[in-house]
Structure 1
Amino acid sequence: MTMPPTELKARAAATAVKLPRTVCFDRERLTIEDIVAIASGSAHATLSDAPEFRAAIQRGADFLDLLLREDGTIYGVTTGYGDSCTVNVPAELIPELPHHLYTYHGCGLGEHFTPVQTRAILAVRLTSLCKGYSGVSVGLLEQIARLLKEDLLPLIPAEGSVGASGDLTPLSYLAAVLCGEREVWRDGVKVSAAEALAAVGITPLRLRPKEGLAIMNGTAVMTALACLAYDRAEYLVRLATRITAMSSFALDGNAHHFDEALFAVKPHAGQQQVAAWLRQDLPTPDAPRNQQRLQDRYSIRCAPHVIGVLADALTWMRQSIENELNSANDNPIIDADNQRVLHGGHFYGGHIAFAMDSMKNAVANVADLLDRQMALLVDSRYNHGLPPNLSGAEGPRASINHGLKALQISASAWTAEALKLTMPASVFSRSTECHNQDKVSMGTIAARDCLRVLQLTEQVIAALLISVRQGVWLRCRMDASAQPQQNLQAMLGMLAEDIAVINEDRMLEPDLRLLLERINAQAWTLYA
């Protein structure tokens, strides 16, 4: 099989040694891709040295100092937190207040965020603080940047945030580590933060009056997870489209279902793009190969309409996620240029919550679509001549081989679990903290759910990659005139490097785990 030049170029690039790029943190906008690159280790984070940037940050800290000298009342600086905002803190105790904030929020539970997720969290919080409206010192920003540079990653429990007043409990673990407390991952080993900071010559911080609040009172965790989810969902759109093309070919389907004129009359841009990609993979002959079947079943014929929902939704999801990423999202906002302290609710994660609830719905629908395609592929009543369960065994041995029978059951289980998790988290607001936080976003729970739905859908995709690779191989074995288009040949060639055809039953878990590694690494370049 000959690989197209674009696919060859992409694979060569994937195997080449890449020098990490640098993402500079200042007051300019960053993208989802910047955060994902830092999280994956393919980019370094650096804090801007520009004098005007550092002066803007310093103005916020200086303005807070001025207010303190003038005995101003500042929420979370000279008062208690949340419902305790009516409690005035004696001047001599103000320096201790931020350390109490992260201390009493040290009550997270559940699994720890992964290193990739933790890097994203640090990068997102640094992005917000660099906007210059949080009243923090340059030294605090430098300390977060150093954690990223040295890859000292706070152990942050994933559970315990209601998404307003921001991600308080998980971000308390970042605040504590900056001060040399709690634990970090260093080179894959759990060590005390004090030991890790000392090993690289970092002095633990003593937080300035508002800095504990500035670190914790924001949407960094949910936004970081949303950036990672977006990246995975965008790749999923392409991979689900390629799988659909291979399913259609294996089922001897009707490629005219993706005709350009047909899709011109329903102008959803993402849906049209999916159909266009399918046309690249499935060029249409003058007439369908199978003259008896004008219309394929919905899971093939309507695939652009299902995958296209996610493709179209990604446009507004990007806008919401990147706006949140590039916002000053703590409270109060320190407007040093106009000498104002603005009390509000920018820590509220409603936009991220809605994006994540919506994404997990659209992604789970793609899992369900692919599960239906697999059900057609393995069933000899509907797969148009392919062997039952796509077994490659022939002769007497066909009687004892069961092919992909169990794999289809597993794919169905993963799909069901993904669909179960589509219940929106954002509608489950709870009144917390003495009814001060009486309407909360649940954005972090929505984001965690979304990542789980993505994981389950990627497991379905791994099952489908085995299925379509087997189905296309069997179709070509049955019909010598059936030849996949060049893009599908290239994909089959890449899959063949990882997956042997199944002539005899074998344990498929190793194949699935390898394919999941490829999916997570986005190893295949799909469509220009």
Structure 2
Amino acid sequence: MKKTFQLNVGALALDDLQTLHAGGVTLTLPMSAREAIRQSHAVVAAAAAGDAPVYGVNTGFGKLANQRIGAADLDTLQLNLIRSHSVGVGEPLAPAVVRLMLALKAASLARGYSGVREVVVDTLLAVYNAGLIPCVPSQGSVGASGDLAPLSHMTLALLGEGEMLEDGRKVPAAEALAKAGIAPLRLAAKEGLALINGTQTSTALALHALLSFEPVLESALVIGALTVDAARGSDGPFDPRIHAVRGQPGQIDVARYYRALLAGSEIRHSHEENDDRVQDPYCLRCQPQVVGACLDQLRHAALVLLREANAVTDNPLVFGDTQQMISGGNFHAEPVALACDAMAVAIAEVGAIAERRIAMLIDTGVSRLPPFLTSDAGLNSGFMIAHVTAASLASENKSMAHPASVDSLPTSANQEDHVSMATFAARRLQPMIANTAHILGIELLAAAQGIEFLRPLKSSMALEEAHGLLRAQCKSIERDRYLAPEIERATLLVRNGALSKVFRALTAVETGAALPALWIAV
């Protein structure tokens, strides 16, 4: 039996959003939200019955806002809006993204500023609770006037006119609704506009990236520490005093993570004396500064996205206390776009410094390990071309990290003359995460190989656990063999939470207390 989850509208926390993203719960609304919905709908109902022009109720949309619509056609106006705006293209959005879209739209409408009837919110919840996934094409939104095309496709499915996804195949929405016992939604005044005006698609895509990247970043910290030991790097750069005098919180936390990961390493103790290297390369020494700065950006993005997930972003907004409807621009997704651009740079940088660590490990002049991490270099190429793959992925990420938010094309006959491109800004994060995860998978293989050249010395308990997780999937590489499948298996450890468990079990060296989480606890 599924657990009941009350949608605490306007006050969802990041762990709530993680639950909504994962699915498997039954959503309910608090009674206070229902009263707010009724009050705002009464304002719209009065406007629909009156003679004054009200945008989205008895007028056309966008550049056609000066066209009056007769009372007999108000419901048809909303239906036509959904049909005409369902023009997306491309592959369907992932089920987890669509689940978030349904839940976030329900939470936004339930705050009582959109003027819809309760049945609209109830239908969104019923579709979510039934596990139905509207088929939403991934391309076609510029992230202003709301995510119009994707939210229209979502709404079309609620009307029984679009499509749903079942086990990856498209089925008629009417058929899926009937099987689930859900009546197709029939739209009244303003309801189509309220459903598609908003940032729920770009926000859902961005949250999907944030949640997807969390285990990858945790893995990056574990693997980065393993590389420090494989290269017999110093733990001096992680001394808390260095980071305290700068005061950057992400940097302070990352140094703390590295101290915990390296604590008790025999390898570290083996070269505390008689090591003629004065300073390590930046890819080792500056990990707190680089990854910590990325962490700060990601934490800020998490705060922005949390606010947006709780926001009301349609237009016009309905204020029941004063019986007013006021036009504005909350549908403009600039906050999401800028947050996603910051995330893109952070994701690219985590991959970029990992690629540099691989290059350092295979360079015997720097790491003092055998060339290309093979004991019979020449006959064997070792990690020579695996590094080339990592370099190609890091370069791809640099191109994709170009800010999407600075590219605006006017739409709707120049009525909507500045747009955010937030939906693409968020959507492009998934291939970037995949690239970074693969770079880290290659580094994990390389660092584990480096550690084995230092046996019988052992690394720390945490890093030996990480090494063991890899070796349970991929044997030591003593001579050249087919590596592509092993890169995939190592990458799966990066993405599936296996290395995250190592990270989350850490305690602070100084106090033994649990370490601060990344950003899910923001």
Distance 2:3 2:340 in 1: 28
Residue 314 of structure 1 deviates from its aligned partner by 2.5
Residue 506 of structure 1 deviates from its aligned partner by 2.4
Partner of 1:145: 125
| Amino acid aligned to 2:15 | E
Partner of 2:438: 459
Alignment of 1:408-427 (within 5 A): 408-427=387-406
Distance 1:155 1:498 in 2: 36
Distance 2:87 2:217 in 1: 38
Q: Pick one of 344, 350, 356 that aligns with 1:360.
A: 344
Distance 1:198 1:188 in 2: 19
Alignment of 1:216-295 (within 5 A): 216-283=196-263, 285=269, 288-289=272-273, 291-295=275-279
Partner of 1:347: 331
- Structure 1 129/523 Cα, relative in aligned 2: closer, same or farther at 3 Å? farther
Distance 2:383 2:311 in 1: 49
Name whichever of 456-465 and 287-296 sits farther off: 287-296
Residue 437 of structure 1 deviates from its aligned partner by 0.5
Residue 419 of structure 1 deviates from its aligned partner by 0.8
Partner of 2:517: none
Partner of 2:25: 44
SS at match of 1:158: strand
Residue 461 of structure 1 deviates from its aligned partner by 1.3
Q: Pick one of 108, 117, 124 that aligns with 2:88.
A: 108
Deviation readout 1:254-275 (Å, 9 max, x if unpaired): 1112112222211111101111
Distance 1:114 1:474 in 2: 43
Q: Pick one of 506, 509, 519 that aligns with 2:484.
A: 509
| Amino acid aligned to 2:300 | W
Partner of 1:390: 373
- Structure 1 491/429 Cα, relative in aligned 2: closer, same or farther at 3 Å? same
Distance 1:499 1:290 in 2: 34
Residue 380 of structure 1 deviates from its aligned partner by 2.0
Residue 60 of structure 1 deviates from its aligned partner by 1.5
- Structure 1 22/390 Cα, relative in aligned 2: closer, same or farther at 3 Å? farther
Residue 235 of structure 1 deviates from its aligned partner by 3.2
Q: Pick one of 343, 346, 357 that aligns with 1:373.
A: 357
Partner of 1:5: none
Name whichever of 284-293 and 340-349 sits farther off: 284-293
Distance 1:379 1:211 in 2: 62
SS at match of 1:185: strand
Q: Pick one of 459, 481, 485 that aligns with 2:460.
A: 485
RMSD: 1.8
Q: Pick one of 289, 306, 310 that aligns with 1:326.
A: 310
Distance 1:21 1:201 in 2: 20
Residue 282 of structure 1 deviates from its aligned partner by 2.1
Partner of 2:46: 66
SS at match of 1:23: strand
Distance 1:390 1:45 in 2: 52
Deviation readout 1:80-128 (Å, 9 max, x if unpaired): 0011110001111111011111111121112211112221222222221
Deviation readout 1:267-309 (Å, 9 max, x if unpaired): 1111011111111122464973552111000100111111001
| Amino acid aligned to 1:516 | T
Q: TM-score, normalised by structure 2?
A: 0.92
| Amino acid aligned to 2:406 | V
Question: Is the Cα contact below 8 Å between 2:215 and 2:495 reproduced in 1?
Answer: no
Give unpaired runs (5+ residues) of structure 2. 507-522
| Amino acid aligned to 2:370 | P
SS at match of 1:372: helix
Distance 1:498 1:121 in 2: 36
- Structure 1 75/20 Cα, relative in aligned 2: closer, same or farther at 3 Å? same
Question: Is the Cα contact below 8 Å between 2:283 and 2:357 reproduced in 1?
Answer: yes
Partner of 1:405: 384
Distance 2:182 2:310 in 1: 28
Percent same amino acid among aligned pairs? 33
Distance 1:449 1:84 in 2: 32
Distance 2:107 2:454 in 1: 52
SS at match of 1:475: coil
- Structure 1 281/517 Cα, relative in aligned 2: closer, same or farther at 3 Å? closer
Partner of 1:14: none
Deviation readout 1:312-358 (Å, 9 max, x if unpaired): 12332122111111010000111122201010000010111101001
Distance 1:508 1:31 in 2: 42
Residue 157 of structure 1 deviates from its aligned partner by 1.0
Partner of 2:454: 475
- Structure 1 52/123 Cα, relative in aligned 2: closer, same or farther at 3 Å? closer
- Structure 1 431/28 Cα, relative in aligned 2: closer, same or farther at 3 Å? closer
Partner of 2:513: none
Name whichever of 175-184 and 223-232 sits farther off: 223-232
Distance 1:491 1:350 in 2: 40
Distance 1:245 1:359 in 2: 23
Partner of 2:470: 495
Question: Is the Cα contact below 8 Å between 1:121 and 1:224 reproduced in 2?
Answer: yes
| Amino acid aligned to 2:424 | I
Residue 77 of structure 1 deviates from its aligned partner by 1.2
Question: Is the Cα contact below 8 Å between 2:143 and 2:199 reproduced in 1?
Answer: yes
Residue 231 of structure 1 deviates from its aligned partner by 2.0
Distance 1:512 1:142 in 2: 46
Give unpaired runs (5+ residues) of structure 1. 1-18
Does 2:144 correspond to 1:161? no
Partner of 2:514: none
Partner of 2:6: 24
| Amino acid aligned to 2:28 | L
Distance 2:208 2:142 in 1: 20
Partner of 2:98: 118
SS at match of 1:190: strand
Distance 2:259 2:2 in 1: 36
Deviation readout 1:109-149 (Å, 9 max, x if unpaired): 12211112221222222221121111111111111112112
Q: TM-score, normalised by structure 1?
A: 0.91
Residue 363 of structure 1 deviates from its aligned partner by 1.5
Partner of 2:286: 302
| Amino acid aligned to 1:47 | T
Name whichever of 348-357 and 130-139 sits farther off: 130-139
Residue 167 of structure 1 deviates from its aligned partner by 0.2
Deviation readout 1:465-498 (Å, 9 max, x if unpaired): 111122212222xxx3x32011111111222222
